[in-house]
Chain A
């Protein structure tokens, strides 16, 4: 099987369609996520934005009856290519979910180390990588004296940063975030947003959000989806000052929900 090369950074979707059985959830989307940029995907519930990002790291197909057509590329690499190792794809394209989901029985340390152990990392190198990941997720100072405590003993915001550390540990190139702050309080939300700003120095970031102000705060580019279609993608500034499409205008101004 082909290992996904770690230098791949630009994500290019070409004519992407996604289905749940007969339901057509994503309709022929062409889209590019540029390296070292944050791209936000906004749109009403059921517009296909979460499905779209789940196609990027091939998680969509895990659901019964779900399938995707079209292409997803990491630089030149075809993510849906026949010889691609799906596990390797998901390591290279990490994902952070709406609700923090640390492994409930594991310590803080083991939560971050779990993925690394699967790849055979041990000893000093393992500890270094865990520390680096916790620093990268902005959590190290808060947990360095209690790495053996259960992951679920942390606050919601800390748990989410723990999950980000877990994603960072396996050295991804792209990070997909599906409503990463929607279960958090405003301060924890702002910490995650600060973190996103720092993470984009090293990664390509895609963030799905219901919170338009969050998109406005963190994203370089914003894409608007409606009924499975990509209506518009542009610089975040343009989307929130002078969107090109009247449907985007109506959505962001809250004229129609």
Chain B
């Protein structure tokens, strides 16, 4: 039988490509975020803030494209699942962009040449690099409809969570100097946003599994967490 609805399928593919492109914007932002944190580079941070308009614009385009396809094409079955997932995914990507912005707004507050704690700074930069890697993996898993790779995001996200807890301990023990304590407090806020970016990447993974299997399930249940063993 001849293939039909090719025009619709082209539109849907274009929409998916637009959404996937938004991931690249966020991974690029996260590379800059890592650099900006490492060097307290306020100008680079400002660029990230300005460039977030591109992510927001992409969000609006994909959102509008989803509404348009729903209204005109009445998609069903796997097409419907993909379109529903794109709407969720683009929201997660837009939030990750906002979380990068939040981080970059915090950086100037640490002041010029603030006292730093090298180990804690390394851990924060590591978190930013890990977040970047998770976002790239979430994109890859979705593009390939690879549920295994999507589920692996939970394991990847454990790394960020572990670094986050480590930073918390380091911040508590950072000493009596008021300036470095203020710096550590800002770093903890940054760590918090990086940790949220990881969570959003896992959420994208859940959407990948939904598109493939038709069943939505949370990979981890935050309200019924498994006990965390000490020292992890």
Contacts and interface: CB of A to CB of B under 8 A. Distances in A.
Interface of A: 212-213, 216, 239-243, 248-249, 252-257
Contacts of B77: 239-243, 248-249, 252-253
B214 interface: yes
B92 interface: no
B37 to A, nearest CB: 43
B5 interface: yes
A241 B4 contact: no
Interface string B189-215: 000000000000000000000000011
B8 A254 contact: yes
27 contacts: A213-B74, A216-B76, A240-B76, A240-B77, A240-B80, A241-B76, A241-B77, A241-B80, A241-B214, A242-B77, A242-B214, A243-B77, A248-B77, A249-B77, A252-B76, A252-B77, A253-B78, A253-B79, A254-B8, A255-B5, A256-B1, A256-B2, A256-B3, A256-B4, A257-B1, A257-B2, A257-B4
Residue among A213, A241, A254, A255 with most chain B CB within 10 A: A254
A253 B3 contact: no
B11 to A, nearest CB: 13
Nearest to B1: A256
| Contact-residue bracket for chain B | 10 to 19
A241 B79 CA distance: 9
Contacts of A253: 5, 75-79
Contacts of B58: none
B132 interface: no
A15 B8 CA distance: 39
B3 A242 contact: no
Q: Main SS of chain B's interface residues?
A: loop
B81 interface: yes
Interface string B1-19: 1111100100000000000
Nearest to B79: A253
Contacts of B215: 242
Contacts of B214: 241-242
For the complex of A and B, the 4 pairs showing the least CB-CB separation, nearest first, are A242-B214, A254-B5, A256-B1, A240-B76
Interface in B30-87: 74-81
B4 A242 contact: no
A216 B4 CA distance: 20
A244 to B, nearest CB: 9
Contacts of A213: 74
Contacts of B5: 253-255
A213 B215 CA distance: 23
Nearest to A254: B5
Nearest to A242: B214
Residue among B4, B77, B78, B79 with most chain A CB within 10 A: B77
A187 to B, nearest CB: 18
B218 to A, nearest CB: 18
Contact of A241 (B3, B8, B81): B81
Contacts of A242: 77, 81, 214-215
